Amino acid sequence: MGFSVRRGNKRRSLGESIRQREFLCSKAGYRQQANASEVKKINRLEIRTGCEAKIRFTIEKGVWIVSYFNDQHNHELATSEERINLRLGSKILEGHGNVLLSMVAAGVKQTNSYNFLRKEIGFENINFTKRDCHNFLQIERDKMIEAGDAQSIINFFKHKQAEDPLFFYSVQVDQNNRLANFFWRDRRSKLDYDCFGDILVFDTTFRTNKYNLICAPFVGINNHWNNVLFGCAFLSNETTDSFVGYLKHFYKSWGINNQKVFSPIKIKQ
């Protein structure tokens, strides 16, 4: 209808059971005074206006009875185009989510997948933004990276390192302690880098099929004009932190001082 809802007061009886509950318009009440930097971040649709629209339920013997109802808002309601920006309006339906997952698994970029879906079913029928799409795919990817697969990768790296002391690997975990990024290079990569490491090519064009991880190889050219691999990584996202972490692991594998390499460089998101 053009507005979001948030929970209001909750009253309990002596037995601790709920006896009254209110639901308010999201613009009810007023925010505490915000500074200038915070004001810029507040979405117009989230600004509170002291709206009195609300509904109150009284619970008697497990039955919810409407005891008060006011549907008059003191602000303009969001238009159909704006409703996806409402906190309650953002929702990815199961069918839409399946289409996005299928397209991304086939190698289609997230933005192109979202634009395709919006064009096919109509903008007015899309209940989520590009940011919601990105967050949804990130959450689903995190769910898909199974502990068994992650442990298999680490076990494989340990096995290769036992066979070859010059084999180097490094892994990164996210805030939930799940495997996010990993980098490796072998003896041959080290020898090639020592001989032909004057020019590096860094590419993130390709993704894996199962987990949609970004394949990020460092390659160069040898004296026969053939490509040689200096190292490779799988990244879960293309954020600045992921790239900086990847480059640090790359230089660490050659024993190069990270601070010396990164001190003059400023990376912008």
Q: Which helix (H) or strand (E) holds 65?
A: strand 63-70
Structure-block tokens of residue 98: 């399946």
Closest CA to 10 of 56, 68, 53, 63: 56
Q: Does this model's pTM top 0.75?
A: no
How far from each other are the two terminal CA atoms of the chain, in whole angstroms?
Answer: 36
Domain boundaries, the chain: 1-87, 90-144, 147-262
Cα separation, 12 vs 2, in Å, equals 31
Q: What is the DSSP letter of 46?
A: G
**Concatenated DSSP letters of 118-131:** HHHH-GGG--S-HH
Rounded to whole angstroms, the Cα distance separating 158 from 162 reads 6
Sequential pLDDT tens for the chain (269 residues): 777 788 888 888 777 788 889 998 887 888 776 555 544 545 556 677 788 888 999 988 888 999 999 988 888 777 766 666 666 656 677 777 778 777 776 767 778 887 887 777 776 666 677 777 777 777 776 665 555 677 778 888 888 888 888 888 888 776 666 667 888 888 888 888 888 888 888 877 776 656 667 888 888 898 888 889 888 888 877 777 777 777 777 777 777 655 444 444 444 44
Helix, strand, or coil (residue 192): helix
For residue 144, what are the contacts with CB-CB under 8 A and spacing of at least 6? Answer: 210, 211
Cα 254 from Cα 264, distance rounded (Å): 20
Query: Nearest-5° angle of CA 132, CA 134, CA 136?
Result: 65
